[in-house]
Each structure stands twice: as C-alpha cells, then as structure tokens.
C-alpha cells in the first residue's frame, strides 16, 4: 500500500506535535484525518477534521464510523491526544487523576479498539501510542500523568499480542520535553532537571518524533510490535 | 426484522467459516443453533472476536444498526447473547 492509499488518523492534532505530524504526513501524500475538541484551521485537499472529545465513547465511535464511510477506514492510528498536570500526590485532586486517565488512557484505548475493528477486517494496521520519558524516570510531581501514560504502555504491549495475527502492530513512543503547549505547564527548572537526566541533553524536536513514527508505520516494520522507544537516551 | 437479521447472520457465518477455513467436527450442524462460544463452539477465541467485529460491521453497513455487541450489558447477561445465531439475533433486535 503506498501513502496515497493510506489513511492516518491523528488525535488531538489542532496544535503541537499532532499538528506537525498532520502536515508532515499530508506532505508525504497520505490521507490525514484529525480530531480535536475545537475546530482546526488546517486546510488541505487530503485532510478531514472531526470535532471529538477522545474520552467520550459515543463521539469516538461516531468519528470512526464517519471515517469508514468517507475514506474506507483507518489504516494508521496515532494516539497523540493527551494532557499533563503536575502536582505532589498528596495535593492531587481525584478529579485531576480521573481527567488524566480519561483523556490519556481511556481516549487511547477507545480509538485503538474502534480502529482495530476496521484494521482486523483489512488485515493490516499500525497503531502508535504516546507515552513519555516521565514514566521510566519516576519523576516526583508527575504521579497522575505518569500513571496514565504507564497504563498506555501496558495497553500497547497487551494489545500488540492480541492483534498480532491480523498484521496490526502497536508501538509506543516516549518523547522528551518538546516545545509545545503541554510543556508550558511544567516549571522551567523542572524541565531542565528532566533534560539533565537524558543521555542527550536537549529538547526533543518534532522531527525527532516523526523519525520514530516513520519507522513504526513503514511496511518494513511488520516485525516490530509491542515496543517502546524513548527519545533522548534513557 | 429478527428473521431477516438471522438469515443474514447465518449467511455471514457460512462465509466466515469458508473464508477462514475453519475445520468443523463431523457431527456439527451449521444452523442457527450452532454454538458460537464455549467448549463446543465452532470458533476459537480469536475467531469469535473476528466474527463479532464482522457482525457489528454488517449491522452498520446493511441494517444501519449501530450496536456494540461487547457492551457491559451484553457481557454481564446471565445468558450470553453469543451462544448461537438465534440468541444473537434476538439480542440485536432487543437492543436496537
């Protein structure tokens, strides 16, 4: 299948990494579908945008059904949508934990489940989930966020086994801090502390991320599944 | 409606068994009462998953019925809707 025949769904793509990946894959000739809670100004003949809150099951199902009717289904899913919140565990409200798990973990699960149903029928699929280097670093102050991302890693590992016989691969990327809105909520000294824990001490770039997503989605990566790649050398 | 769905699901079952080259036991009668789950099922667990996906897709494409067969409600019933094409058809009509 060449890029022109493939549809990539990128969640949470109104800005940041998701926006970059959308433009990057449109440039490469893919059909790109994006979704976010508010509308996008991204305009391209091969681009469709849906309004969808990733934690709402009905909205996710409607989005996936609509993509099937418009584009024949999703071939590649990039579960990019996510949010962060920092706080000491003792000071973390239960609502924050719930919200992070619903957006990060439940959202990724719902899209993975619904897209997998289409991929099972076509006997080919690629799913990429987003974790973070905060998971292996066990960073203080990031308990709720890291736990929600850790759950995504476990989900990826188990689903990769369950879906391997359908030629569906599921892998995870764990970026370092990248200049996006998400990192704005992290205090500057905290970001520096994280970067100093990396082998390569610099911010990640959008290109660092697309390098890994390119690898995971390529036809040649059919033997790569259940893996996670952390950027920056951890 | 239930009869129409039943006939279509039965056709899907025949196609599914044929396409996936599923070997049936000698005494299995492939009708609306054939077991879809359990030890005497015609499917293994992965085939059942794939069949459920196909049923959901067929209902959406051909009957415009949007249903999640693996909902909490379906899974928590004392009598599983996946026992046979008969029980599955009834469940679909009841829930849609």
- Inspect the interface and report whether the beta carbons of A120 and B46 lie closer than 8 Å: no
Residue A181 domain-assigned?
yes
- pLDDT tens digits for range A44-77: 999 999 999 999 999 999 999 999 989 899 999 9
Residue A23 domain-assigned?
yes
Residue B47 forms contact with A (CB below 8 Å): no
Q: A120 to chain B: which residues are within 8 Å by CB? A: 49-50, 53
Residue A105 domain-assigned?
yes
Residue B54 forms contact with A (CB below 8 Å): yes
Q: According to the model, what pLDDT value does residue B85 have? A: 95
* CATH code: domain of residue A69: 3.40.50.720
Per DSSP, the three-state class of B43 is coil
Domain, as residue range, for A131: 7-229
Residue A168 domain-assigned?
yes
Residue A206 domain-assigned?
yes
Residue A1 domain-assigned?
no
Q: According to the model, what pLDDT value does residue A157 have? A: 98
Report the percentage of chain A scoring pLDDT > 70.
98
Return the minimum-mean-pLDDT range out of A1-5, A95-99, A150-154, B50-54. A1-5
- Number of domains chain A contains: 1
Q: According to the model, what pLDDT value does residue B95 have? A: 84
* Residue B44 reports pLDDT greater than 70: yes
Helix (H) or strand (E) holding A143: helix A143-163
- Using pLDDT thresholds of 50, 70 and 90, give the confidence band for residue A219: very high
**B10 and B85 in contact (C-beta within 8 Å)?**
yes
Q: B68 to chain A: which residues are within 8 Å by CB? A: 61
Residue B68 forms contact with A (CB below 8 Å): yes
- A228 φ, ψ to 5°? -130, 140
Residue A31 domain-assigned?
yes
* Residue A4 reports pLDDT greater than 70: no
* Residue B26 reports pLDDT greater than 90: no
- pLDDT tens digits for range A147-192: 999 999 999 999 999 999 999 999 999 999 998 877 777 788 888 9
Residue A117 C-alpha, separation from nearest chain B C-alpha, in angstroms: 6
Residue A2 domain-assigned?
no
Residue B12: count of CB within 10 angstroms of its CB: 17
Tell me the average pLDDT of chain B: 89
Mutate to test the interface with A, among B50, B60, B63, B69 (most CBs of A within 10 A): B50
């Amino acid at each position: 299948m060449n890029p022109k025949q493939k549809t990539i769904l990128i969640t949470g793509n109104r800005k940041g990494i998701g926006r970059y990946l959308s433009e990057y894959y449109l440039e490469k000739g893919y059909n790109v579908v994006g979704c976010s809670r508010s509308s996008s100004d991204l305009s391209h003949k091969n681009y469709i945008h849906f309004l969808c809150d990733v934690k709402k099951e009905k909205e996710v199902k409607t989005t996936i059904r609509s993509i099937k009717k418009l584009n024949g289904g999703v071939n590649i899913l990039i579960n990019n949508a996510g949010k962060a919140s920092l706080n000491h565990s003792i000071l973390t409200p239960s609502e924050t934990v719930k919200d992070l798990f619903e957006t990060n973990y439940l959202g990724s699960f719902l899209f993975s489940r619904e897209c997998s149903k289409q991929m099972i029928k076509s006997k080919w699929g690629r799913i990429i989930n987003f974790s973070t280097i905060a998971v292996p670093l066990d960073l203080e102050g990031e308990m709720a966020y890291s736990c929600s991302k850790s759950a995504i890693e476990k989900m990826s590992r188990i689903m990769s086994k369950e879906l391997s016989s359908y030629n569906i691969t599921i892998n995870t990327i764990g970026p370092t801090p990248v200049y996006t809105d998400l990192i704005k909520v992290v205090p500057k000294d905290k970001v520096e502390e994280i970067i100093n824990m990396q082998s390569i001490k610099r911010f990640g770039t959008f290109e660092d991320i697309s390098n890994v997503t390119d690898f995971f989605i390529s036809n040649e990566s059919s033997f790569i599944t259940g893996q996670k790649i952390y950027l920056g050398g951890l | 409606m239930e009869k129409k769905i039943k006939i279509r699901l039965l056709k899907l079952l025949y196609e599914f068994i044929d396409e996936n080259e599923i070997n049936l036991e000698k005494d299995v009668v492939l009708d609306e009462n054939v077991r879809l789950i359990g030890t005497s099922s015609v499917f293994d667990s992965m085939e059942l998953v794939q069949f459920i996906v196909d049923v959901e897709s067929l209902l959406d494409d051909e009957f415009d019925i949007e249903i999640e067969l693996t909902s909490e409600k379906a899974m928590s019933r004392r009598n599983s809707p996946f026992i046979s094409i008969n029980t599955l058809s009834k469940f679909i009509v009841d829930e849609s």
